[in-house]
Amino acid sequence: MQVAQLVGNLEKLLDGSSVSKAVGQKVINVVSNLMEGNSVALSASANRLVQVVEDVGLQLIIPGDREILSSGSVVLAVRSIDGTNFPQTSFNIFNTDNVQLRALSRSRSKRSGSALGSVSLPSSLTAGLSPEDQQLANRVQFTFYTKPALFQDDALNNQTLVSPVLAASVTNLSISNLAENIQFTIRNVNPIDDLSREGIIDRQQAQILTFITYIGCGISAIFLALTLLTYLLFEKLMRDIPAKILVQLCLSLLFLNLVFLLDGWLALYPAVGLCISTAFFLHYFLLTSFTWAGLEALHMYLSIVRVFTPYLSRYMLKFSLIGWGIPLLVVIVVISVDKDNYGVVTYGKYTDGTSDDFCWLRNDIAFYVGVVAYFLLIFALCLLVFIIVMVQLSRIKKQNPQNQPPNRGVMTDLRSIAGLIVLLGLTWGFALFAWGPLYLPFVYLFTIFNSLQGFLVFIFHCAVKENVRRQWRTYLCCGKLRLAENSDWSRTATQNRMNLSVATATTSAPHLTSRSSSVISDSTNSNGSVFADSGISDSSNNDAILNEIHRLNISL
């Protein structure tokens, strides 16, 4: 009875033809306070309260071109318009104190999935109205209820509404037969964080992660460039297929880091095509990085299991077409479906109401199919190959302990495993565990290891590799650190021939002798760094391990 009486008093306040901002704010405050109470007590008057809020929007005096009334549980935003020339209008609410109401061109409209609620009304909204109705359409209003207290329904039984309630109207007119879609988004207030796009809501944590990301990507870009220079300048390092794959991976990661570092800055510019292009290339180089990691895994698998396959004609040409071509097809399909799939993304998810802009995939379906699903496919392949390699090496280590150098210990094995994990991009897997109570710790692990992936590639595949250090000492060092040209390479070649002879002599079936020799010879020349370039073994026992793997495969 008291609620009904109070609602009646509010209705009397709105008997006139107009409502001042002060009165309108008082009405909104009263409705907000009622929503904090018992929803059962409100049920009988819920429809009347919703109508009261609508009437405030219809009668509110607007001195300028817009007015926003905000309270703890209700937000009402009203904007004056010309129904004969309707401007595209967007409404985004990140919290009750951070409301964006503006006219925005379609090409610069931002993804609002990080907002609590958003509506984008197209410029053709009033095109289907009669001239008389277009004259009446002088305002558009948006109403946002943070709680579903006024929208309870007995038919829901024990089900619970999981989102706020958002409404939009144009001078209370009925509009139909739209030529363009209305973009209407309401965020689930209890989202599941596995692979969620919502991210960190704490501004301080977000700033720390952003700092780590940009510093890490900057460091990675520098060391990826050094890795590329090392392999491209020293021709002897590029004789192996894994080295050629490594160069392609480093090139892809370098471009990915550079585009990422420029992205946030480029998103500030109003040029639409610039942001679309930035998001396009960021997506492309992300996919090429995944793909080349997958091709590295595929090459390892073919080398260990299939033995002969890596020595087919134009092997690297086929890999290059896959590594650069398939990601290109994906991004072309995404932009062909809708060029606005790429553009400015607003991450307004911080508790203080601030937001960041970034050029990226705006469409959720494109993101989950073109990034998440693609990554999961590559990640599964890399993980499978990692397990196969570990099993094979463990098998060889047990069956052939004489081939293991005396100084190879647990730390050496751990370093080898870490090098393989970095090369195959398995650190991206931290994203799979970033949900629930583990969300923040794994987000930090994901950010640290992936922003520093280029630096780690340099460490494992340049700094700790003996053959790379030999090249540095031969051509870049002076004095006592300098090595005589070809001195160590000659000894390595001799050792390779000795390993080849031993492996050939141990082939059990006479009719496989020539076949085994051919495979082992090829593996030494073209594939000798499958495990070295992956951080799997030291160069001192590279060939012994490779020869033994090939010998075991051929003997089976």
Report the CATH number that the domain containing residue 223 is assigned in CATH.
Answer: 1.20.1070.10
Whether 408 and 441 share a structural domain = yes
Residue 490 in this model has a pLDDT that exceeds 60: no
Whether 461 and 426 share a structural domain = yes
Whether 469 and 508 share a structural domain = yes
**What's the domain count of the chain?**
2
* Residue 193 in domain: no
* Residue 14 in domain: yes
Residue 316 in this model has a pLDDT that exceeds 60: yes
* Residue 270 in domain: yes
Q: Is the separation of the CB atoms in 136 and 159 below 8 Å? A: no
Q: Which residue shows structure tokens 């089900």?
A: 159
* Residue 128 in domain: yes
SS3 476: coil
pLDDT tens digits, one per residue of 157-208: 666 666 789 999 998 888 888 888 888 888 766 655 585 666 666 778 888 9
Q: 10 Å Cβ neighbour count for 64? A: 7
Number of helices followed by number of strands (H, E) in the chain? 18, 10
Cβ neighbours of residue 199 closer than 8 Å, sequence gap 6 or more: 114, 206, 347, 349
Question: What gap in Å lies between CA 360 and CA 148, rounded to an integer?
Answer: 33
pLDDT at 501: 43
Q: What is the CA radius of gyration of the chain?
A: 32
pLDDT tens digits, one per residue of 371-408: 999 999 999 999 998 998 888 878 877 877 766 666 66
Label residue 76 exposed, middle or buried (CB < 10 Å: 0-12, 13-18, 19+): buried
Residue 312 confidence class, pLDDT cut points 50, 70, 90:
low
Which domain, by its residues, includes 437? 203-555
Tell whether pTM > 0.75.
Answer: no
Whether 230 and 151 share a structural domain = no
End-to-end Cα distance, the chain: 87
Whether 233 and 101 share a structural domain = no
Q: Which of 186, 221, 249 is the last residue of a domain?
A: 186
* Residue 287 in domain: yes
Whether 175 and 270 share a structural domain = no
* Residue 486 in domain: yes
Q: 10 Å Cβ neighbour count for 105? A: 12
Whether 412 and 293 share a structural domain = yes
pLDDT tens digits, one per residue of 91-114: 888 788 888 887 765 444 444 445
Q: Which of 186, 213, 229 is the last residue of a domain?
A: 186
* Residue 192 in domain: no
* Residue 330 in domain: yes
Q: Is the separation of the CB atoms in 415 and 407 below 8 Å? A: no
Q: What angle do CA 281, 282, 288 make, to 5 degrees?
A: 85
Q: Which of 186, 214, 247 is the last residue of a domain?
A: 186
Whether 135 and 283 share a structural domain = no
Whether 296 and 375 share a structural domain = yes
Question: What gap in Å lies between CA 71 and CA 6, rounded to an integer?
Answer: 18
Residue 1 confidence class, pLDDT cut points 50, 70, 90:
low
Whether 435 and 486 share a structural domain = yes
Whether 533 and 455 share a structural domain = yes
Whether 165 and 291 share a structural domain = no
